[in-house]
Amino acid sequence: MVLQGRFCKAGALALGVALLAATPVWAQFQLCNQMLDLANVAIGQPAGDSFETRGWWKICPNHCATLIRKPIAARFLYFFATDIFGKELLSGTVPMCIAPDRFVIEGESDCALRGQVEARFIEVDTGDTADWTLFLRAQP
């Protein structure tokens, strides 16, 4: 738990420095963690004729992370999230591949045959907008 607090404080400092040096970003996809747990987030999106999954973003409680720093190219994006113990925080019905460490995976099938893990992502309809924010909240 102490490491989590240090990560969040260091991340906030780095974010503050980055904001001072950054130019304005007009289109992006952000995920805001409104839970009490650190969230490990993976994203899936179309990549040509297949899908690509990427992870992990570590998002502290009550913080946001920009997952896409350009106009959103696909109407539907896919997300999966766990806490620091691996408990699912955000899970859906769309099967895609993930890995335990930082990853970029092309394709969404045959995860186990390729040495990866299958996870169930939620589908988010961005409505063809260039800018979107998703809020991760505790389920009642």
Q: What is the pLDDT of residues 95-121, one digit of tens each?
A: 999 999 999 999 888 999 999 999 999
CA gap 130, 111 in Å, rounded? 30
Give the gyration radius of the chain's Cα atoms: 15
* Assigned domain for 85 exists: yes
CA–CA gap between residue 98 and residue 118 (Å, rounded): 6
pLDDT above 70 covers a percentage of the chain that reads 80
Cα torsion 25, 124, 32, 103: sign: negative
Asked whether residue 10 is assigned to any structural domain, the reply reads no
Residue 5 counted as domain residue: no
Asked if residue 70 is part of any domain, the answer here is: yes
Residue pair 113/126 in contact (Cβ under 8 Å)? The answer is no
**Phi, psi angles (nearest 5°) of residue 21:** -95, -10
Residue 2 lies in a domain: no
pLDDT-above-90 percentage for the chain: 57
Residue 90 belongs to domain spanning: 25-136
Beta carbons of 55 and 43 less than 8 angstroms apart: yes
Per-residue model confidence (pLDDT) at position 9: 52
DSSP 3-state assignment of 86? coil
Asked if the structure places residue 64 within a domain, the reply is yes
Query: In which band, very low, low, confident or very high, does the pLDDT at 26 lie, cut at 50, 70 and 90?
Result: low
Structural domains in the chain (count): 1
18 domain-assigned = no
Q: Average the pLDDT over 84-96 and give the result.
A: 91
Any domain includes 78 = yes
